[in-house]
Structure 1
Amino acid sequence: THLLHSPERNPAIYGPGATASNLNSRRPFAGIGPLQVGESTGWSKYHALQLTLQKRWGKGLTVLANYTFSKSIDISSYATIEGNSAGPDPFNFNNNRGVSDFDMPQRLVVSGIWEHPRLTNYNPILRTVLGGWQSNVIWTAQAGTPITILSGVDNALMGIGANFADLTGVDWRPPSDRSRGQEVQEWFNKAAFRVNAVGTIGTGRRNQLRSPGAWNADYSLFKNFSIVEALRLQFRAEFFNVFNHTRLGAPNTTFTSPSFARITSAYDPRIVQLGLKLIF
């Protein structure tokens, strides 16, 4: 697959005496400065196993389950000609090889629809208030998205930046029996990384780690009320993240940041939305 990306084609060449202040004088075309060129030299690979199960029961109940086991690998996940998208090494794109930014090795989605009984044998008031509703639920569980540990310092001195952090040899995986608070404070072992050595892009690699996985459930309830033959009023009640389950965001991935390895964000809490729709 030939994918569009934009590598730096006028990088500063590292050598004795190289500093951040003489970047432009070390470029092959010193009078131009940074030069990104749109090229179809990117590539990607994707493999997946997809399973689907659908079951219709009596009395208006339907369940659909989809499971995906996959792996996506590339050297650049987004087609762009604005800015460098080929990683910190313009001489070997494969040094930016890793799982795709959107890679999600496992994802399970279960949805269900239940058409409530119409209560046709009940009195009109109960039939109108309680009968004929429809419940919908979507439950999703998925692995975390990939993250890259960055040095935070352009020690490669090529004027590109986004240097990888060096690996220290310490396992980045922390103990598995930690509390949620400990995970938030240090999602991965900070001792596993350090600033990259001068003249190198870093010994780490793109998308080596993952942010927290998550699960979420959304629920909706609605009913159509007939006004006249061709006119209906639909009432909807929608509950996003119905259980108000905390879904952690990605940790800070820049080694030189004071909040390195710390999670400082989360996805939306429960949101309730009520609505009326006129259908004609």
Structure 2
Amino acid sequence: LDGNYTWSHCIGLPITTLTNLGAANPHGPYQNNGPNDRTLDMGDCTSNAAISALDLRHIANITFVATTPKYSGGSWLNRLASTWTFSTIFQTRSGAPFTPGIGGDQAYSGVAIPGGGALPIPQRPNQVADVVSPTRRQGCSPAPCVSWFNASAVTFPAVGTYGNMGVGSLRGPGFWDWSQTVSRKFQVTEGQQIEFRAEAFNVTNSLRLGNPNVSLSGGQFGKITSSNGGPRIMQFALKYVF
């Protein structure tokens, strides 16, 4: 039995800030790297330092390996139950931060419109109420979707202004997975073996939710319509060693 736990806290600049900095302005205002390399706002890019999208606050892993005893002689059932190896991997982590965007150029800066530059910088909305949703993790419409945060608490900023919502101010669902392996080597002769393995990933076939839709302009804003990780997968293998 083995395990580990990691607590971490990652603070940094939005990825688009790092990738869109002008070569001549490594610490200057936002840059678009578009045809005119226009400035998004007049603030230093470091003013947007916040919780990073890589901030997975809690991560835990547990591994377990056990082998049944070797039975010599006795009934065929005892011999069949001998030397099976069970290997378990369980992992879990907290949700990743995300940042809602308005999906357009509400500030009339000319650089946040998709296609306006190499990597357009999303503008953020205003938060006007508590974003915690009373229907969190419940189904919603149009199906299939799952409610995650209170979309009514987020609005477009006034034309010509930027929103007050912070970078990485919301978090998506956590993730967990249980994988299992069962194996045994059958001795055929002194120099020959047959190894059997059965493996299963996402043993419980559980749905792990992805992050919600973050574009305020979209009809599914605040709702989760994707999954994180696949369905249960099982595979079997038989190997002859000689």
Q: One fold, TM greater than 0.5?
A: yes
Within a 5 Å distance, the mapping from 1:257-276 to structure 2 comes to 257-266=218-227, 267-276=229-238
Aligned length: 215
Out of 37, 40, 46, the position equivalent to 1:94 is 46
CA distance in 1, matches of 2:239, 2:15: 40
**8 A Cα contact 1:165 1:193, kept in partner:** no
Comparing 85-94 with 157-166, greater Cα deviation is found at 85-94
Q: 1:95 to 1:258 in 2, by over 3 A?
A: farther
Q: 1:168 to 1:103 in 2, by over 3 A?
A: closer
The one-letter code of the counterpart of 1:224 is K
Within a 5 Å distance, the mapping from 1:214-233 to structure 2 comes to 214-233=175-194
| 2:138 paired residue number | 180
Which secondary structure does the structure 1 equivalent of 2:139 belong to? helix
The CA deviation string for residues 145-190 of structure 1, in whole angstroms up to 9 with x for no partner, is 1111011112232314433332232011123x75632594321010
**8 A Cα contact 1:254 1:260, kept in partner:** yes
Q: 1:221 to 1:77 in 2, by over 3 A?
A: farther
CA distance in 2, matches of 1:164, 1:78: 11
Within a 5 Å distance, the mapping from 1:23-62 to structure 2 comes to none
Deviation at 1:257, TM superposition (A): 0.5
Which secondary structure does the structure 1 equivalent of 2:106 belong to? coil
The CA deviation string for residues 113-171 of structure 1, in whole angstroms up to 9 with x for no partner, is 11111222434x44553211100111222211111101111223231443333223201
Deviation at 1:66, TM superposition (A): 1.1
| 2:36 paired residue number | none
**8 A Cα contact 2:104 2:123, kept in partner:** no
Deviation at 1:278, TM superposition (A): 4.3
The one-letter code of the counterpart of 1:191 is S
Consecutive unaligned residues in structure 2, runs of 5 or more: 23-29, 32-39, 113-119
Out of 34, 38, 61, the position equivalent to 1:109 is 61
Which secondary structure does the structure 2 equivalent of 1:113 belong to? strand
Which secondary structure does the structure 2 equivalent of 1:112 belong to? strand
The CA deviation string for residues 211-263 of structure 1, in whole angstroms up to 9 with x for no partner, is 11132211110112234444433211111111112211111010000111111
**8 A Cα contact 2:14 2:167, kept in partner:** no
The one-letter code of the counterpart of 2:211 is A
**8 A Cα contact 1:113 1:135, kept in partner:** yes
CA distance in 1, matches of 2:13, 2:234: 41
**8 A Cα contact 2:147 2:222, kept in partner:** yes
Deviation at 1:110, TM superposition (A): 1.5
CA distance in 2, matches of 1:147, 1:206: 7
CA distance in 2, matches of 1:121, 1:110: 35
Deviation at 1:89, TM superposition (A): 4.9
| 1:197 paired residue number | 158
Deviation at 1:64, TM superposition (A): 1.0
The one-letter code of the counterpart of 2:176 is W
Q: 1:276 to 1:180 in 2, by over 3 A?
A: farther
Which secondary structure does the structure 2 equivalent of 1:120 belong to? coil
Within a 5 Å distance, the mapping from 1:213-252 to structure 2 comes to 213-252=174-213
CA distance in 1, matches of 2:226, 2:172: 12
